[in-house]
Amino acid sequence: MKKLNNLIIVESPTKAKTIGTFLSKEYKILSSYGHVRDLPKSSLGIEPENDFKIKYIIPTKARKNVNLLKKEVKNADLVYIATDPDREGEAIAWHLIEILGLGKDKDYQRISFHEITSQAINEAIKKPHHLDINLVNAQQARRALDRIVGYKLSPLLWKKIARHLSAGRVQSVALKLIVDREREIQNFKTEEYWTISGLFEKDSKKVETLLSKVKGKKVLIKNTNEAEEIINKLKDKEYNISKLEKKIVKRNPLPPFTTSTMQQEASKKLRFPSSLTMKTAQELYEKGYITYHRTDSLNLSSQSIALAKSFITTQFGKEYALDNGRKFKTSKRAQEAHEAIRPTNIENTPDKLKLDERQRKLYNLIWTRFTACQMKEALFNSVKLEISSKDKDVFDASGLQIKFDGFLKIYPTKIEEKEIPQFDENDLMSLIELKPFQHFTKPPARFNEASLIKEMENNEIGRPSTYAPTISTIQKRNYVEKNPEKRFVPTEIGFSVNDLLAEHFPEIIDIKFTAKMEKDLDEVAQEGKNWIELLKTFYSPFNEKLEKKYQEIEKKPTEHKSADKDCPKCGKPMLIKRSRFGEFMACSGFPECRHTESIENKNTKTGIICPKCEQGEVISKKTKKGKIFYGCSKWPDCDFASWYKPTGERCPQCNSLLIEKGKKIVCEDKNCKYIKT
């Protein structure tokens, strides 16, 4: 009997190697090494006048492998295309079918799976399906839209601002979010406010409370005089417990990871950039340890839920396991056929697998998140009380204590436990002490990777697989940079690019417009909406406006600021010039003299009012050796400086500055041991 020669083509060699461990020698598994066709770099590669015909080419680096695949296809009895189960994977499958002549000279079958396990691979081979051309067209439409915006709009930025800049359909909106937030911070006016705590006692049992109402009205204290005035009115009154509420509250676990929430949590807990998270997840998927990592679905297979129940019962006890498992509601945009990100086998605990440190950390996060989502909820004893005067002055206190840890046993979250002593309603309480605390309102926080991804997801900008490359692009283009707190700050060039687009192409950076485009692409993928018509609808007004703007926007002579120093080579004045990489110093004798210098000690605003002069803003600076410190923007008029970032608040114990030291907020005075909880 002739031995069958079946060929399976996947995207990566690691994926091919893992699949090879599950199949017999009748199957040969090869890799396409990613995309085998793409648009040319030297031209637009799209013909708008010819129904947006796309000119695909085989990149030079892919040609040798493509020739190998063609040779292997000829020798194969049957070819399986087993690329990833999403738009990108379906597009790669289509390109492979096109260039290898599959379906014409050679039979092929399209197979897909959401995890690389023996069972999943063998089931996929038994149940081949047709290529989903709607997914292919959605990917083609996205690629064409991004190419049109990038190749048509970028030259305008070169002409108006600086050479080698770029605009992108999604990256420009992400930049707008960061710029808008920065301007919100710049325009924010800090306001002072005060709170008053009250310490009460009965039978040697004490409880600390916070003033919430004065004479039945919500309290708002603007300054120290108002605080002292209120304290004087409250200190001699009689108080009793006017309200006492005791109950058991539940806290449910978070759902399993989607691509977005995985990137957010890895950023928060592991300090992983989104690009590193996706790279690591790709490795774990290809090794067969987790399900497909590009998903926005919260769906879980019945089998994975049943296995989780068995594992939890055995490892932690019956009291931690759910009777019927827990399912989660998925958003309308998600593809229900996909699953959430989970371990392929819950028995593969993080300590059992051979992983490097980076892979182990992410796998542990994924494993614990999934396991926790199938565990019983945590139970807490909750106590809330109000202590009031006859004049309806009200102080509040609440306490929380764990009664049953449930899912918190393996997936702890930050919970401030506080015990409230045993009291009864109507108990008379003795007022021991009233203390005022000064506070200042804070501007909204700058985006970090986690919060930017969450904002993009909330506004339906891009897809889960595009978040990481979008964030990488705006950093590589020097449109934004990360400050010492790992938060995004727009550069001067970033402001300029955003402002030009906002003035001349507001629809490109309009959040609702971009979200509508994503919805249209989803309709191409899910309902077969005509992708050519989608491109036409976008292109005609865009191209018409672009041609008009080229006429309207004339290149203005660049005005350069003086650098207040002379060129060390020729003696002519140095000027401050600007490129996509930011500002730099260059000799005014260019092109005869080409001397340039970098500008050191770039400052980054923090949005915090200087605690010394109360006029300037605290900015981060760098020493000559590159060490970061914090100083006042009014220097040299104000000499405030600190190695640690001030919070803008004062210590309640000694009135010194509160500073961020690592992950803690502590008093600047080393003799004061105050730590903010």
Q: Among all residues, which ones are annotated catalytic?
A: 292
Burial 505-517 (b: 16+ CB within 10 A, else e): beebbbbeebbeb
Q: Coil, strand, or helix at residue 634?
A: coil
The Cα angle at residue 297 between residues 292 and 299, in degrees rounded to 5: 90
- Per DSSP (E only), the strands in 469-525 are 480-482, 488-490
Q: How far apart are CA 428 and CA 431, in angstroms?
A: 10
Structure tokens at 411: 């997936």
Phi, psi at 675, each rounded to 5°: -130, 125
Amino acid making up residue 20: G
Closest-CA residue to 479 (of 492, 466, 461, 468): 492
- Per DSSP (E only), the strands in 265-413 are 378-388, 394-404
- Per DSSP (E only), the strands in 531-587 are 561-566, 573-579, 582-587
Q: Show Cβ contacts of residue 403 under 8 Å, excluding neighbours closer than 6 positions.
A: 248, 379, 380, 381
Inter-residue contact 637 to 631 (CB < 8 Å): no
Structure tokens at 675: 């730590």
**DSSP letter assigned to residue 408:** G
Closest-CA residue to 92 (of 81, 79, 80): 81
**DSSP letter assigned to residue 267:** I
Structure tokens at 92: 């790669």
Task: Give the side-chain half-sphere CA count within 13 A for 556.
Answer: 8
Inter-residue contact 143 to 39 (CB < 8 Å): yes
Q: How far apart are CA 463 and CA 465, in angstroms?
A: 5
Q: How far apart are CA 195 and CA 650, in angstroms?
A: 13
- Kind plus residue range of the DSSP H or E element containing 516: helix 511-527
Radius of gyration of the chain (CA): 31
Structure tokens at 154: 């970028």
Q: How far apart are CA 579 and CA 474, in angstroms?
A: 15
Closest-CA residue to 359 (of 439, 267, 282): 282
Q: Coil, strand, or helix at residue 612?
A: coil
Inter-residue contact 416 to 677 (CB < 8 Å): yes
Report the sign of the C-alpha dihedral through residues 525, 530, 532, 538, in that order: negative
Which strands make up the sheet holding 561-566, listed edge to edge? 561-566, 573-579, 582-587, 596-598
Structure tokens at 164: 């080698």
Burial 231-259 (b: 16+ CB within 10 A, else e): beebeeeebbbbebeeeeeebebebbbbb
**DSSP letter assigned to residue 421:** P
Q: How far apart are CA 619 and CA 608, in angstroms?
A: 8
